């Protein structure tokens, strides 16, 4: 009887140890979430730039857009999506204006990843990297400034949309009712207006208060 008990205990210990090892093996380190920060016009930063093209061409960028290496865009770890930057190659003084649409680079001390087109503009395709100065600038004239909000619901009835608007205003502001043309006409309830990161924060707050919604892009 004693021998049988010891065998059972030993088997149980082996199983616990095995489960513990399996759980440990399944844990995969996660990359830290970028700490997105507010920026001001004229703010500058110096560091190493790199560039990217294939095989990322045609894939989704972090802001949801499809990456086109022939457009003047860039990836930055912490600047809000839609931020415009002047990038100056300090070795030749060439400059290019880019829009932040992606996250990165996550290699060493690099501070920005330029699209292939932007890298060509400042002659850094050959070297691959360059010391640059980044300066936050206003969006170029004629460019649409991206803004995001959270669509909470869409109704065929404007009165229902207005009722929900008043309810959502108890949680966040501003809230708008936007008419979408078509058949049928829909009245969308949109909460917030700002960067994608700000809209995502509003979406989380709404969920905490029992509401649903999704981040959507719109323009002024």
- Architecture of the domain made up of 44-137: Beta Barrel (2.40)
Determine the pLDDT at residue 33. Answer: 54
Q: What is the pTM of this model?
A: 0.60
Determine the pLDDT at residue 195. Answer: 78
Distance from C-alpha of 129 to C-alpha of 20, rounded to nearest angstrom: 45
CB 152 within 8 A of CB 195: no
Determine the pLDDT at residue 139. Answer: 87
Structure tokens at 31: 């990359």
Tell me the mean pLDDT per 10 residues along the chain, length 220.
Answer: 47 42 33 70 97 92 88 94 95 96 91 97 96 95 76 92 95 90 85 84 92 76
Determine the pLDDT at residue 218. Answer: 65
Distance from C-alpha of 90 to C-alpha of 101, rounded to nearest angstrom: 23
Closest CA to 104 of 125, 135, 126, 73: 73
C-alpha atoms less than 13 angstroms from C-alpha of 66 in its C-beta half-sphere: 4
3 state SS of 29: coil
CATH dotted code for 147-218: 3.30.70.1070
3 state SS of 85: strand
Structure tokens at 15: 């199983």
Determine the pLDDT at residue 12. Answer: 47
Instruction: Name the DSSP letter for residue 3.
Output: H
Would 44-137 and 147-218 be classified into the same CATH topology? Answer: no
Structure tokens at 39: 């920026």
List the domain boundaries for the chain.
44-137, 147-218
- Roughly how many angstroms between the first and final C-alpha of the chain, as a whole number? 81
Distance from C-alpha of 5 to C-alpha of 46, rounded to nearest angstrom: 69
Closest CA to 36 of 192, 197, 195: 197
């Amino acid at each position: 009887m004693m021998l049988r008990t010891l065998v059972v205990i030993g088997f149980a210990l082996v199983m616990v140890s095995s489960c513990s090892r399996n759980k440990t093996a399944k844990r995969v380190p996660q990359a830290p979430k970028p700490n997105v920060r507010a920026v001001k016009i004229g703010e500058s930063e110096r560091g190493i730039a790199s560039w990217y093209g294939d095989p990322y061409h045609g894939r989704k960028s972090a802001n949801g857009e499809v990456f086109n290496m022939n457009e003047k865009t860039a990836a930055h770890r912490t600047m809000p999506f839609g931020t415009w930057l002047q990038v100056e190659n300090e070795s030749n003084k060439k400059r290019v204006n880019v829009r932040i649409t992606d996250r990165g680079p996550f290699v060493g001390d690099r501070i920005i990843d330029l699209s292939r087109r932007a890298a060509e503009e400042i002659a850094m395709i050959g070297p691959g990297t360059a010391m640059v100065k980044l300066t936050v600038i206003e969006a170029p004239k004629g460019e649409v400034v991206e803004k995001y909000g959270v669509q909470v619901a869409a109704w065929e009835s404007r009165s229902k949309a207005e009722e929900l608007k008043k309810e959502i205003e108890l949680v966040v502001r501003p809230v708008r009712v936007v008419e979408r043309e078509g058949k049928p006409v829909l009245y969308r309830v949109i909460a917030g207006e700002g960067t994608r990161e700000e809209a995502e924060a509003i979406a989380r707050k709404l969920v905490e208060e029992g509401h649903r919604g999704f981040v959507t892009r719109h323009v002024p």
